[in-house]
Amino acid sequence: MNTLKTVGHPTSRIDAEKRVTGTATYTGDLRLPGMLYARVLRSPHPHARIRRIDLSRAQALPGVKAILTHENCDVIWGSGDMRNKRYLFNDPVRFVGDAVAAVAATDRHTAEEATRLIAVDYEVLPFVLEPEDALKPGAPEIQPGGNLSPTARGAHEPEQYRRGNIDEGLRAADRVFEDQYSSPHINNAQLEPRVAIAQWDGDRLTVHTPTQGISNCHTEIARDLKLAPEKVRIICQFMGGGFGNKNQDHDFELMAAVLAQQAGAPVKIEFTRKEDFLAVHGRWPTKQYYKVGVRNDGTLTAIQLRGYSGMGPYRKGTGGIAGIEIYQCPHVERLVYPTYTNKAVSANLRGPDFPQGVFGIESLMDDVAYALKMDPVEFRLKNMTRKLNDQIPYTSIGLEDCIRRGAEAFEWRKRWHAPGEGSGPVKRGAGMAMGSFSSSMGRSSAVIDLDARGTYHLHVGVTDIGTGAKTTMALIAAEELGVPLEKIDVIWGDTDRCPFSVGESGSRTTTQTGWAVVEAAKDLKRQMAEKGLPQGNQLLTATVNANPAPLTGQARYSFVAHFAEVEVDTETGHVRVTKYVAAHDSGRIVNPLTAESQVKGGATMGIGMALHEELLYDRASGQPLNAGYYGARILTHLDTPEVDVLWIQTEDPYGPFGAKTLGEPTIIPSPASVGNAIHNAIGKRVNDLPITREKILGVLA
Amino acid sequence: MKSFANVNARDAKDAVAKLGQPNAVAVGGGSDLLGMVKEHLVEPDVLVHLKSIRKLDQVSAKAGEVQIGGLITLDTLSREPAIRSRYTVLAEAAESVGTPQIRNAGTLAGNVCQRPWCWYYRNGFPCFKAGGKQCFSITGENQFHAIFGGGPSFIVHPSDTAPALVALDAKFRVTNSDGERTIPAAEFFALPRVDAARENVLAQDEILTAVDLPAARPHTRSTYHKVLDREAWTHAVVSAAIVLEMDQQVCKSARIVLGGVAPIPWRLPKVEAMLAGKPITPELAAQAAEAALEGANPLAKNAYKVPLTKAVVRRTLLSLATKA
């Protein structure tokens, strides 16, 4: 791969100093003159009809300026449910945390007091927590039409994928392996809780909000409030992460806007950490049943998955269970049942469909390899995907190198052994897992103004949820323009000043908005050649709405393999990750510094998912028990291992300088590699995430 | 949170007088109380601040005995040279609490008196600890609940310093309207069968003002071992506070107190007697661990605590006894 001048060199974030010195202004730091504060009253019941709401005592509290309930607010939150009408305030309420009312008052304390003065008469309804229970006859109906969430076409049937003939594939097998796995609801647990400020200027609405995508947030707020898009402005200058739960528009932004309109004053709405855990969304819990057919030489003949995803009561995410696509196999069948339950809502969390599905299939494939007396690394090299779904060639694929070079860097042959081998109470074990993630090209925009002083003003609609997008865009512009990075002035995070951007979801910003930046820079260079440099007050402007043609007959993917070594104390059940190697094919790496941080963050999140995190519910009452950082046992710095990052930089003909996606692949194989390492250490497998001390001591008992 | 008045106490006596007001609550570091007020688990009318009391945050030595003011922060306590060297178990326990921020604010008395962290109680269930008539953990999620001394409530005592203080045979100085009373640490804590709503014998208008540690005997060594579910910021899944008085290789006397297994710091007198006068060998440590778990009565989801506690007792005992 050729070396470039700016792209590919470790570079500090352009806003790093502001962030680390505390001078960056986050939404929570903003205070507007006359601003009111809003708080939300939430359902204490997992499922209940609202007979009556009495606001009289709350309205009488001095300082209360506006109150919204389902009786006076019929705004539909379009992004809150892709199948049903989900209002800002719903009746019946369908989970503990479902919004019942929102109050705006002159200060936080008054707003909170007012929510407690609202008297709600509930008719408590039966509830159901687990998807398989929710699909049984006689289960409480959570949405009209039944608890199996319909497909996009409205059919009440599972999401299906098939190739070949599964029965034929199972018949062709020398051996058939069968097992089941589960993963719980866990929260995105980003650092910054939800806060938004809405301000009206006549009929024009400005919303300050920490969003992953100002453009989709803008379109959707306009849609949900029935406003012309030009009447809405979204601003997000600095934000504190989201991992998928700050994309699109959100109910709290809409509540702030309606409250501000009614009260005639700007409104800041804030959620507590507990509300953030219960009332926004987390990763969907799954139950996965697999059958795998294999020949004695290790060739796969069939993979069958029947899976259930608990969506909570609203269909905010796909509920998909991915992972089997990383194997080449002639006969495949996947049925997934996205199901309504009365638990917290589930939707996107970093690699939405993947880490839980990869945990399932990669645990089983490990067992298959062991049963056939094959090294798990060799087994994966033999069976890894070579074409998407065995049909469509990839534009570039570095998976084999991820596995081979990752294994080498990890010293796999030294660390891996027969499962459970080794004496003494503390046992070491090695495990690996692999994954892939779509890196398709698509629509995004960029504008570059060149002024007479030689500064390039790059307008991009990114916000930087932690990926370093502002810096990445500047690096790409500097590279294409052939100018030093300091000459690029990035303008971001404001729909009045920035063009459309795809949004920092699906790990698409570098590939899509980055591509638009390349195109804009090329256009500007053409203009400079034609018209010369701008003089005086002139600006030279390049505007690009890039819309690359979809690839036909080719698929563009990123690939990854992770290797973990753990130490398991068989007497205390304590697990420590002692070595971790992450090998990534994300094409050319634009900024190795922030890219490495992405990998370390993703791998660490995956370790937490493997070992600790689970939103627990009391079965009798349907109440969540451990919402929040303390209860979720999110990893601390002391728990975080060194993560060695290995770049497999394949040459890809598409994307900005051949860059492919990175952010989400970083978590995909992490829980599975830790699970496989624990199995290798103790010789027993825990099939249900998280792999807690209780479960480890349980299988060893 | 509910509105309340803040008042500063001038001294311990004044604090007690102010706590006599209706619905008044004492606050030391406030690291836990503030969260409980926000969650409406406590709804005080008056917060009586103890931090305004002078000199209650100090360690003083008198004729070998050591007195520790109840308002000393956990961080200061854990760094105090006299405590680290002669009462190691207490320094290590204080050091294991929460996070640096919590240890900088949280006090010794507050840590000893903190309310349970059972998730039913902390989520507002109307349980014994909230003045109700039920323990929801019995048939619910009881992974972290008691295997000893449970019933009718099955909480575990959340304090790290409490087992250490019981192991050190500390005396608690309690101020009340009549003056002061002194209670042996082991008698300060109360099982739920005595009072299911509370964890200790403090009355509403009493405060724990200081802790007296007896003079450390020569050749005494001690340690606190805490099992956490991550490397920091959890309460003990299981912990062991052990004090050994040694004569060369022979254990003259032992005190072993467990945390995380019972509604009070759980002392093991039978095991202590087993060890007295014997060299602590791997075999004896294993026997002690077996004996330690006699009578354990796990619930549906916490049986793992039995082998875990055995391992903790055996290893901690052995490593302390054989420490150079």
Segment A257-292, tens digit of pLDDT:
999 999 999 999 999 999 999 999 999 999 999 999
Cβ atoms B122, B39 nearer than 8 A: yes
In the structure, what pLDDT confidence band is assigned to residue B63 with cuts at 50, 70 and 90?
confident
Contact B249/A at CB under 8 A = no
Residue A424's pLDDT is: 87
Same CATH topology for A31-125+194-270 and A282-440+553-700? yes
Res B323 pLDDT > 90: no
Residue B305's pLDDT is: 98
Distances (CA, A) of A643 to A363, A604, A679: 22, 8, 21
Tokens standing for residue A697:
């001591």
- Where helices occur in chain B by DSSP H, the ranges are 12-19, 33-38, 74-79, 81-86, 88-95, 100-105, 108-113, 119-122, 161-167, 185-188, 269-275, 282-292, 305-321
Tokens standing for residue B253:
């006397």
In the structure, what pLDDT confidence band is assigned to residue B86 with cuts at 50, 70 and 90?
very high
Residues of chain B with CATH 3.30.390.50: 220-321
Residue A441's pLDDT is: 93
Question: Looking at beta carbons, which residues of chain B come within 8 Å of A694?
Answer: 143, 301-302, 304
Cβ atoms B259, B159 nearer than 8 A: yes
Q: Which of residues 43-82 of B touch A (CB under 8 A)?
A: none
Contact (CB<8Å) A625/B120: yes
Nearest residue of chain A to residue B235 (CA atoms): A630
**Residue-wise pLDDT tens digits, A362-385:** 999 999 999 999 999 999 999 999
Q: Which fold has domain A16-24+443-510+532-542?
A: Aldehyde Oxidoreductase; domain 4 (3.30.365)
Mutation site for A-interface testing, chosen from B38, B39, B233, B306 by largest number of A Cβ within 10 Å: B233
Contact (CB<8Å) A624/B312: no
Question: Looking at beta carbons, which residues of chain B come within 8 Å of A690?
Answer: none
CATH code for A282-440+553-700? Answer: 3.30.365.10
| Residues comprising chain B, all counted | 324
Nearest to A625 among B119, B230, B232 (CB): B119
Nearest residue of chain B to residue A625 (CA atoms): B119
Tokens standing for residue B170:
């500390």
What 3-state class would DSSP assign to B61? strand
Tokens standing for residue B245:
């008085």
Residues of chain B with CATH 3.30.465.10: 59-114+154-213
Question: Looking at beta carbons, which residues of chain B come within 8 Å of A604?
Answer: none
Per-residue b or e along A622-647, where b marks 16 or more CB atoms closer than 10 Å to that residue's CB:
bbbbbbbebbbbbbbeebbbebbbbb
Residue B2's pLDDT is: 81
Nearest residue of chain B to residue A620 (CA atoms): B140
Contact (CB<8Å) B307/A623: no
Kindly report the CA angle at A63 between A62 and A66, in degrees rounded to 5?
115
Instruction: Give the mean pLDDT of B188-217.
Output: 96
Percent of chain A exceeding pLDDT 90 equals: 99
Mutation site for B-interface testing, chosen from A571, A607, A696 by largest number of B Cβ within 10 Å: A571
Q: What is the C-alpha to C-alpha distance for residues A484 and A330, in angstroms, rounded to an integer? A: 51
Q: Which of A444, A494, A447, A490 is nearest to A471 (CA)?
A: A490
Matching CATH number, B59-114+154-213, of 3.30.465.10, 3.40.50.720, 3.30.565.10, 3.30.1360.30: 3.30.465.10
The nearest CA of chain A is from the CA of B230 a distance in Å of: 7
Size of the A and B interface in Cβ pairs below 8 Å: 76
Residues of chain A with pLDDT under 50: none
Contact (CB<8Å) B136/A618: yes
Contact (CB<8Å) A701/B136: no
Residue B62's pLDDT is: 87
Kindly report the CA angle at B26 between B22 and B32, in degrees rounded to 5?
125
Mutation site for A-interface testing, chosen from B226, B231, B306, B316 by largest number of A Cβ within 10 Å: B231
**Residue-wise pLDDT tens digits, A443-502:** 999 999 999 999 999 999 999 999 999 999 999 999 999 999 999 999 999 999 999 999
Nearest residue of chain A to residue B238 (CA atoms): A572
Q: Which value does ipTM take for this structure? A: 0.97
Q: Which fold has domain B220-321?
A: Enolase-like; domain 1 (3.30.390)
Phi, psi of B251 (to 5 degrees): -85, 115
Contact (CB<8Å) B302/A694: yes
Contact (CB<8Å) A620/B140: yes
Q: What is the C-alpha to C-alpha distance for residues A367 and A179, in angstroms, rounded to an integer? A: 10
Question: Looking at beta carbons, which residues of chain A come within 8 Å of B145?
Answer: none
Q: What is the C-alpha to C-alpha distance for residues A338 and A310, in angstroms, rounded to an integer? A: 6
Nearest residue of chain A to residue B234 (CA atoms): A630
Contact (CB<8Å) A113/B302: no
Instruction: Give the mean pLDDT of B141-149.
Output: 98
Tokens 């796969």 found at: A300
Distances (CA, A) of A204 to A221, A229, B282: 12, 10, 77
Q: Which of residues 119-158 of B touch A (CB under 8 A)?
A: 119-120, 123, 125, 136, 139-141, 143
Question: Looking at beta carbons, which residues of chain B come within 8 Å of A626?
Answer: 119
The nearest CA of chain A is from the CA of B173 a distance in Å of: 32
Quote the pTM value.
0.97
Cβ atoms A87, A76 nearer than 8 A: yes
Contact (CB<8Å) B304/A616: no
Contact (CB<8Å) B139/A633: no
Q: Which fold has domain A31-125+194-270?
A: Aldehyde Oxidoreductase; domain 4 (3.30.365)
Nearest to B304 among A619, A639, A694 (CB): A694
Every domain of chain A and the residues it spans: 16-24+443-510+532-542, 31-125+194-270, 282-440+553-700
Contact (CB<8Å) B230/A616: no
Tokens 């506070």 found at: B241
Nearest to A571 among B119, B125, B307 (CB): B307
Nearest to B229 among A113, A425, A693 (CB): A693
Q: What is the mean pLDDT of chain B?
A: 97
**Residue-wise pLDDT tens digits, A527-548:** 999 999 999 999 999 999 999 9
The nearest CA of chain B is from the CA of A109 a distance in Å of: 7
Q: Which of A421, A326, A337, A363 is nearest to A685 (CA)?
A: A363
Q: Please give the full DSSP string across B207-271, using - where no structure is assigned.
A: EEEEEEEPPPPTTEEEEEEEE-SSSSSS--SEEEEEEEEEETTEEEEEEEEEESSSSS-EE-HHH
